[in-house]
């Protein structure tokens, strides 16, 4: 026999609003900072200057989790337009090319150098006799 007031409907313990990270309001700032190639530690320090105490690991885990989030059909936010990547390009001087118009040294009187490659064929087809 089951009494109506002793039935557990699973709602016990569910009070108030669901958990929301204290980093959620700063998500756009964190993404913008990462696009500017700032480190997780630098972002955590900037958040500390804003009064948000956190660690670099917590910021990284928050962004990783937030970017994986799937939205219900039709509820996804507008696509973020990626910023163009600008690379630091310093003009490096090209190495000086050697003057290739010099002539080769004369052949040695002792024959070919044994350390250089030979252009003679060492293998060939022997015609039948």
pLDDT of residue 6: 52
For 128, the 3-state DSSP assignment is coil
30: number of Cβ within 10 Å: 21
pLDDT of residue 81: 58
Instruction: Dump the DSSP string for 67-120.
Output: HH----TT-PPPPPPPPPP------PPPPPPP-TTSPPPPPPTT-S-TTSPP-S
Q: Report the distance separating Cα 121 and Cα 88, nearest Å.
A: 51
Q: Report the distance separating Cα 19 and Cα 5, nearest Å.
A: 29
Task: Spell out the residues 6+ positions from residue 66 whose beta carbon is closer than 8 angstroms to its own.
Answer: 24, 27
**10-32 tens-digit pLDDT:** 556 667 777 788 998 999 999 99
More reliable by pLDDT, 101 or 67: 67
How confident is residue 121, by pLDDT bands cut at 50, 70 and 90?
low
- What is this structure's pTM? 0.45
**51-99 tens-digit pLDDT:** 999 999 999 999 999 888 777 777 766 665 566 666 666 777 777 777 7
Domain boundaries, the chain: 20-68
Residue with tokens 């530690």: 41
Cα 19–Cα 22–Cα 26 angle in degrees, nearest 5: 130
Q: How many CA atoms lie within 13 A of 37 on its CB side?
A: 6
pLDDT of residue 127: 77
Spatial contact of 26 and 47, defined as CB atoms under 8 Å apart: yes
């Amino acid at each position: 026999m089951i009494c109506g007031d002793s039935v557990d409907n699973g709602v016990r313990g569910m009070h108030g609003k669901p958990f929301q990270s204290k980093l959620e309001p700063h998500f756009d700032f964190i993404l913008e900072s990462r696009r500017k190639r700032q480190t997780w530690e630098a972002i955590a320090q900037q958040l500390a200057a804003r009064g948000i105490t956190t660690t670099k690991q917590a910021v990284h885990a928050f962004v990783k989790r937030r970017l994986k989030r799937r939205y219900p059909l039709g509820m996804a936010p507008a696509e973020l337009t990626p910023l163009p990547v600008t690379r630091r390009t310093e003009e490096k001087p090209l190495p000086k090319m050697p003057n290739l118009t010099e002539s080769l040294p004369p052949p040695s009187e002792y024959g070919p150098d044994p350390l250089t490659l030979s252009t003679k064929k060492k293998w060939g087809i022997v015609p039948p006799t």
